[in-house]
C-alpha cells in the first residue's frame, strides 16, 4: 500500500486489517482514537511499534515517556510538527 492509499483509507474510515500493528496504530491515531492506537502497539516489542509508541506519547504531551520509547526504537527524540512525524513514520513503515 502506498502512503497516499493509506491516507485515503484513513480519511474514508476503512480500517486496514492487513497492515502491521504499528500502521494500524497510526490509522487509529489519525482517526482521533489515541487509546485504540496505544492498544495496537502496547504489547508489540518491535522497533517500529516503539517508534509509533513514542509518537503517541509525544502527541499526548508526555515527553518523558516519549523519550523512553524513542530510545527503545533506536530513534532520536522528534521535535518537529506532529503531523510531519506521523507522515514520516507511515511512509517508512509502508516501505517495509
| DSSP-assigned letter for residue 19 | S
- Burial zone of 70 (CB within 10 Å; 0-12 exposed, 13-18 middle, 19+ buried): buried
Question: Residue 1 — very low, low, confident or very high, per pLDDT cuts 50/70/90?
Answer: very high
Confidence (pLDDT) at 16: 86
Range of the domain at 82: 3-95
Q: pTM of this prediction?
A: 0.95
- Packed helices 82-95 and 21-30: angle between N→C axes, nearest 10 degrees: 150
Q: How many structural domains compose the chain?
A: 1
Mean pLDDT of 34-57: 97
Amino acid at each position: 500500500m502506498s502512503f497516499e492509499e493509506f491516507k485515503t483509507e484513513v480519511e474514508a474510515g476503512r480500517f486496514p486489517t492487513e497492515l502491521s500493528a504499528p500502521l494500524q496504530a497510526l490509522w487509529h491515531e489519525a482517526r482521533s482514537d489515541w487509546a485504540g492506537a496505544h492498544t495496537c502497539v502496547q504489547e508489540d516489542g518491535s522497533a517500529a511499534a516503539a517508534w509509533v509508541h513514542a509518537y503517541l506519547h509525544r502527541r499526548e504531551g508526555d515527553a518523558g515517556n516519549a523519550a523512553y520509547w524513542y530510545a527503545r526504537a533506536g530513534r532520536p527524540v522528534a521535535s518537529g510538527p506532529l503531523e510531519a512525524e506521523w507522515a514520516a513514520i507511515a511512509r517508512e513503515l509502508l516501505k517495509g
